[in-house]
Amino acid sequence: MAQQNPGIPGILPNIDPDALKVVRKLLHAGHEAYLVGGCVRDLYLGLMPKDFDIATSATPEAIRKLFRNSRIIGRRFKLAHVFFGQKVMETATFRTKPRDAGDDPNNPLITHDNEWGSVEDDARRRDFTINALFFDVENQEVVDFVDGLYDLDQATVRTIGEPALRFREDPVRMLRAIKFASRLDFKIEPATWAALLEVAPDIVKCSRARLIEEIYKLLRSGSARPCFERLLESRLLQHVMPSYTSLYGGEDNGAVALAAGLSEGASGPAHLFWRFLDALDDFVKTTKQEVANGVLQAILFAPLLQREMGEDARQGLDRTIERMMTPVGAALGIARRDRELARQILMARRRMSASTGRRRRGSSVTQRDYFHDALVFLGVSVAALGDGGSELARWKSLAAASSGGPHGRGNDGRGNGGDGSDGSDGSDEPRRRRRRGGRKRGGKSASSSSSPKDSGAAATGDR
Ligand code: ATP
Ligand code: MG
């Protein structure tokens, strides 16, 4: 189904002026230079790119010399970051596919990736045709070696080259195929999808760091629901997170239960799982906020904890969280601080929906480092469960009242009041202000958890 895109005329006027500066300076110095990848794809489609990447014939050292405001990063694959205030323009030298890649048909996994090449080599080593377009700013043309424009017009995700081989070289590409198809509302080209189904078990060959980072990206993409539907259908979910899917019905039946949860009349945790993803997608699309990893973890476990949330003894909830999250967290290599934040906000959720008698005590939650994240989670939960709107409104107004800074106010005048003094419904933990070196929340969600950008080139591998 062809769709109406702004196309090539939509690209130049929407390029970040600093990105243009970098490209023009490289050109002026006699190098080849283009905008490349996601930004060209998104501008062609009329979407706002997350960032602007530049590809050039200049080596990292030459880029470094040309831009005083730049730094070379990466060991495995060197590239340059050119800084404009808070903004970073990633400027990478054209690369080619590593010479030994594909030499051994039984083991095509790319283990190193550091050969310079031509612009065409650089296009062909990329993952999907829609991600391999170069924009030539002088001629206002898209340079397309792989029929990526055709696939953009046809709304199709297609690997460059032989799909099974490209997925075997780097199995994370399978998650990326699902991410782009879901986010852009594209179809996955049939041969690409067939190869994905065939190679899916290889996903376990990737490092846990890359896998969990990619799972977070899918969750915060604004299209978590269609992503996870495709993950389940392709069995990638079962391969990446077996300890998690089995929580829905055992090793063999967890995925079956999740699939059944998709049907209209379904109920129970598996059905709630999809409702939470819908609510998360709505939140991401309407607020454009980057949801912290810990909140994403809490969302994954919330459907499984509804019974405990309603029960009286907080220890029961704490123990169940521990029992469920510890093995899954260990298997996936989830960072400790992300797990801890998830635990805190799940516990806080219970306090925040506590009945009237406990409300005043509960207000100490607003003083916590994690309050903003707890509020995000509460909003998603309320939307998923269709219940608790008035509590949400109350906490939002408390948040607004204390927005001079969550730490601007003293305690509530009752000393440790809400912090478990009666042993039945206190804080989820002893007060630990400023434990992490006085970090201050800047009104955004990512500060108490690994930020979306934390992973860096080391974790993202082939970029
Ligand atoms: P997003 O909007 O999610 O950032 P993007 O297309 O910019 O999408 P990135 O992960 O930022 O994706 O990667 C930048 C570019 O690097 C991609 O467009 C693609 O050309 C290339 N790339 C990234 N990961 C891979 C990979 N695993 N294999 C081959 N090429 C890749
Ligand atoms: Mg990008």
- Label residue 382 by pLDDT band (50, 70, 90): very high
pLDDT at position 434 over 90? no
Please identify, by atom number, the ligand 1 atom nearest to the C-alpha of residue 461.
27
Q: What is the DSSP string of 56-117?
A: ESS-HHHHHHH-TTEEEE-SSS-EEEEEETTEEEEEEE-EE--TTTTSSTT--------EE-
- Residue 446 is predicted with a pLDDT of 34
64 vs 367: CA distance, rounded Å = 45
Q: What is the mean pLDDT of the chain?
A: 84
- Residue 140 is predicted with a pLDDT of 96
User: Higher model confidence: residue 331 or residue 1?
Assistant: 331
Strand spans (E) along 383-426: none
181 vs 173: CA distance, rounded Å = 12
Spacing, Cα 231 to ligand 1 middle (Å): 19
Q: From the CB of 166, is ligand 1 less than 6 Å away?
A: no
- In the chain, where does the domain assigned CATH 3.30.460.10 lie? 1-154
Question: Crossing angle for the helix pair 389-401 and 371-385, nearest 10 degrees?
Answer: 160
- Residue 1 is predicted with a pLDDT of 47
Environment class of residue 428 by beta-carbon count within 10 Å: exposed (0-12), middle (13-18) or buried (19+)? Answer: buried
Q: Which residues pair with 70 in a beta bridge?
A: 82
- Residue 430 is predicted with a pLDDT of 36
Closest C-alpha to ligand 1, atom 27: 462
pLDDT at position 444 over 90? no
Q: Which of 90-94, 190-194, 248-252, 351-355 has the lowest mean pLDDT?
A: 351-355
Q: Which of 227, 140, 226, 159 is nearest to 199 (CA)?
A: 159
Please identify, by atom number, the ligand 1 atom nearest to the C-alpha of residue 172.
27
319 vs 439: CA distance, rounded Å = 29
Q: Residue 381: which region, alpha, beta or left (left: phi > 0; alpha: psi -120 to 50)?
A: alpha
Q: Which of 112-116, 418-422, 457-461 has the lowest mean pLDDT?
A: 418-422
Closest C-alpha to ligand 1, atom 12: 38
Spacing, Cα 276 to ligand 2 middle (Å): 26
Give 357-379 pLDDT, tens digit per residue: 444 554 677 778 888 999 999 99
Question: What is the number of the ligand closest to the CA of 175?
Answer: 1
- Label residue 388 by pLDDT band (50, 70, 90): confident
- Label residue 229 by pLDDT band (50, 70, 90): very high
Q: What's CA 351's distance to the chain center, in Å?
A: 28
Q: Which of 170, 222, 215, 223 is nearest to 196 (CA)?
A: 170
pLDDT at position 460 over 60? no
Spacing, Cα 50 to ligand 2 middle (Å): 6
- Label residue 98 by pLDDT band (50, 70, 90): confident
- Whether the CB-CB separation of 327 and 321 falls below 8 Å is answered with no
Give 12-58 pLDDT, tens digit per residue: 999 999 999 999 999 999 999 999 999 999 999 999 999 999 999 99
Q: Which of 36, 126, 167, 206 to mutate to test the pocket of ligand 1 (most atoms within 8 A of CB)?
A: 126
- Residue 397 is predicted with a pLDDT of 85
Closest C-alpha to ligand 1, atom 24: 463
Give the mean model confidence (pLDDT) for residues 259-265: 93
- Label residue 167 by pLDDT band (50, 70, 90): very high
170 vs 161: CA distance, rounded Å = 13
- Residue 132 is predicted with a pLDDT of 98
pLDDT at position 422 over 50? no
- Residue 363 is predicted with a pLDDT of 61
Write the single-letter amino acid at 435: R
pLDDT at position 237 over 50? yes
- Residue 456 is predicted with a pLDDT of 37
Spacing, Cα 70 to ligand 1 middle (Å): 21
- Residue 64 is predicted with a pLDDT of 97
Q: Which residues pair with 79 in a beta bridge?
A: 73
Q: From the CB of 463, is ligand 1 less than 6 Å away?
A: yes
- Label residue 454 by pLDDT band (50, 70, 90): very low
Question: What is the number of the ligand closest to the CA of 169?
Answer: 1
pTM for this predicted structure:
0.85
- Label residue 200 by pLDDT band (50, 70, 90): very high
Is domain 1-154 given the CATH code 3.10.180.10 in the classification?
no
pLDDT at position 128 over 50? yes
Mind telling me the catalytic residues? 51, 53, 127
Q: Which of 38, 139, 149 is nearest to 92 (CA)?
A: 38
Give 276-312 pLDDT, tens digit per residue: 999 999 999 999 999 999 999 999 999 999 888 877 6
Q: Which residues pair with 95 in a beta bridge?
A: 116
Spacing, Cα 39 to ligand 2 middle (Å): 7
pLDDT > 70: percent of the chain: 80
- Residue 459 is predicted with a pLDDT of 35
Dihedral angle over CA of 183, 187, 192, 196, nearest 10: 60
